[in-house]
Amino acid sequence: MIQERASSWDFTPSEVRYLFRFFVWTFIVLLFVNAIVCRFIIGFAGQSLVHTTTNGMSYPYSWPALPPRGDKWPEPERIAVYSGLEEFLESTYAVGWDSNYARYVMNVVHIGKPFNTIETKETLVTKNGEVLHANPPVGAEPQMRWKIFGVILNPFIYSFVIWAFCGLFPVRVIALNRYSRYRRLAADALCPKCGYDILDLPICPECGTPAEDQS
């Protein structure tokens, strides 16, 4: 039987395979969890958000530069922003008027940290009660858009953190403890694998570990 070489603080092949599988499966699970949680929360966002009005000193998130009509939107005059779930969910409502007294309104809800995973966006332009532009059409539900950076990178970042603390760190501690034990046994002319007294034998007669693993 071929023994895995494990006399140094490096990982054994089985530990490397374990760490690889640990990361892959963690990423796959979090990929689905991230998508399901974001989809579930944003489905109720429109019913639960309460905005706080502020002066529009900063440019609002996703304020359209060019709507489908082709006219440039005016600078927003009022902005309301809501952040919930430790800023995991954010909604931005902005409104502005042009020189012809047309009213421009935008409402964006996006969710995900550190990158947006899902976004919904509504834009509306009215003048004297007449709807000049509406996306989506008035009365229709806004369409959700998946953001590829958030869908892929968020689970990857979460997976790496979990992998580092729950996978890499414990295995590294095991490897260092094993190395310390092997060096101690080798110094006493004992097999670093099973502790059998091998003296000057080239291979351990008990478990088959080569004597060079003592070095």
Helix H or strand E segment including 18? helix 13-43
Which carries the bigger pLDDT value, residue 60 or residue 46? 60
pLDDT at 4 over 50: no
Q: What is the pLDDT of residue 40?
A: 83
Question: What distance lies between CA 96 and its chain's CA centroid?
Answer: 35
Long-range contacts of 164-168 (CB under 8 A, 24+ apart): 166/22, 167/18, 167/19, 167/22, 167/23, 167/26, 168/19
pLDDT at 6 over 50: no
Other beta carbons less than 10 A from residue 43's beta carbon: 13
* Residues 178, 181, 183: CA angle, nearest 5 degrees: 110
* Residues 69, 121, 128: CA angle, nearest 5 degrees: 50
Beta-bridge partner residues of 82 = 91
Other beta carbons less than 10 A from residue 70's beta carbon: 6
Residue among 27, 24, 18 at smallest CA distance from 158 = 27
Confidence of residue 205 (pLDDT cuts 50, 70, 90): confident
Q: What is the pLDDT of residue 84?
A: 67
pLDDT at 69 over 70: no
Q: What is the pLDDT of residue 151?
A: 94
Q: Are 108 and 120 in contact (CB under 8 A)?
A: yes
Other beta carbons less than 10 A from residue 101's beta carbon: 8
Confidence of residue 23 (pLDDT cuts 50, 70, 90): very high
Task: Determine the Cα–Cα distance for residues 43 and 22; give it in Å rounded to an integer.
Answer: 32
Q: Are 121 and 62 in contact (CB under 8 A)?
A: yes
In terms of DSSP bridges, do strands 118-127 and 89-97 run parallel, antiparallel, or are they unpaired? unpaired
